[in-house]
Amino acid sequence: MKYRSVFTPGLFAGKTALVTGGGSGIGRCTAHELAALGAHVVLVGRTQSKLDAVRVEIAEDGGMASAHACDIRDEEAVKAMVQAVAAERGRIDLLVNNAGGQYLTPLEAISAKGFKAVVDTNLTGGFLVARECYLQSMRKHGGAIVNIVADMWGSMPMMAHSGAARAGMVSLTETAALEWGGSGVRVNAVAPGYVASSGMDHYPPEAAPMLRAMRKTVPLGRFATEAEVSAAVVFLLSPAAAFVSGTTLRVDGARPQVRMGMPMRVANAEAQQRDAIRAFDGFHRAVTPKVFQDAGE
């Protein structure tokens, strides 16, 4: 089987796309779609073995990919990684700043070390990668950047550190779009809502009931697929978005619009089969998160 992208074959032929956090979840899915559309994908993450596994998958599917292990929180490591990629590929055309992570904890229990660790991963690291791609390639050649943020509108209970970092990345996206537009660089963000992704497997077992119930708070009545987030990223990287910069595209099923006191109107199973909201799952290698496998969903 091949990736079933809705975009035209060869869309990114001859392009080099760097994807951070490319070893799993949304990053892995996006890397597969970009490769299926002709890009050479550079997978970046902390664990070489995970990156190599995705690189092999892409090769098996007929795509092109390489892998560079890098801790994006380390400024010197990021500089060296981008320099190596630019030397190998000649230029970096596309960047998907996807690497991130957080953990569940109430605000009053977050330590300064824990807060910094999440901000470094979700904000500072993305800044460093974007800056170096700009300085070492895009300032001269142009390019497109998509930063992955999150549904932090109206707060992120139990994940205040992540909400603060993601809000910062939205502002950084807008500023970069303004400052780098003169070099022919577009910068946008994608904000996924609740996504049935492998990232859910990192939460503790006691969080499983909450995770399974979250779809009941989404007007479209379900979780997003990884492919639906990837499609938004690909659109913003594509020529179709040539005049789109500095914006954040939400992929959240209208979840932030839910208000206390407003009767919930959640799409039932029958409504979810209608063309307008039917789930799109073009990723042929997608894996259902364990929390849903265990529940038989």
Query: Is-contact 143 185, C-beta < 8 A?
Result: yes
Average pLDDT over residues 93-120: 92
Query: Is-contact 224 276, C-beta < 8 A?
Result: no
- Among 60, 58, 2, 4, smallest CA distance to 27 is for 58
Query: Is-contact 42 18, C-beta < 8 A?
Result: yes
Query: Is-contact 166 197, C-beta < 8 A?
Result: no
Kindly report the backbone phi and psi dihedral angles of residue 169, in degrees, each rounded to the nearest multiple of 5, phi listed first.
-70, -35
Confidence of residue 205 (pLDDT cuts 50, 70, 90): confident
CATH class of 16-293: alpha beta
Q: What is the model's pLDDT at position 86? A: 98
Compute and round to an integer the Cα radius of gyration of the chain.
18
Average pLDDT over residues 43-64: 97
Q: Specify which residues 43 forms β-bridges with.
A: 19, 67
The tokens describing 50, both together, are 């995970």
Q: How far apart are CA 54 and CA 297, in angstroms?
A: 26
Q: How far apart are CA 48 and CA 151, in angstroms?
A: 29
Three-class HEC string of the chain: CCCCCCCCCCCCCCCEEEEECCCCHHHHHHHHHHHHCCCEEEEEECCHHHHHHHHHHHHHCCCEEEEEECCCCCHHHHHHHHHHHHHHHCCCCEEEECCCCCCCCCHHHCCHHHHHHHHHHHHHHHHHHHHHHHHHHHHHHCEEEEEECCCCCCCCCCCHHHHHHHHHHHHHHHHHHHHHHHHCEEEEEEEECCECCHHHHHCCHHHHHHHHHHHHHCCCCCCECHHHHHHHHHHHHCHHHCCCCCCEEEECCCHHHCCCCCCCCCCCCCHHHCCCCCCCCCCCCCCCCHHHHCCCC
Spell 169-181 as b/e; 16+ CB within 10 A means b.
bbebbbebbeebe
Q: How far apart are CA 89 and CA 83, in angstroms?
A: 10
Q: What is the model's pLDDT at position 101? A: 82
For residue 296, pLDDT beyond 70: no
Q: What is the mean pLDDT of the chain?
A: 93
For residue 268, pLDDT beyond 90: no
Confidence of residue 297 (pLDDT cuts 50, 70, 90): low
Average pLDDT over residues 239-246: 98
Average pLDDT over residues 48-58: 98
Average pLDDT over residues 224-230: 96
Confidence of residue 213 (pLDDT cuts 50, 70, 90): confident
Q: What is the model's pLDDT at position 295? A: 56
Q: Burial level of 279, CB count in 10 A (0-12/13-18/19+)?
A: middle
Using CA atoms in the order 282, 187, 199, 227, what is the torsion angle rounded to 10 degrees? -10
Contacts of 175 (CB under 8 A, 6+ apart): none
Q: What is the model's pLDDT at position 206? A: 72
| Chain CA centroid to CA 169, Å | 13
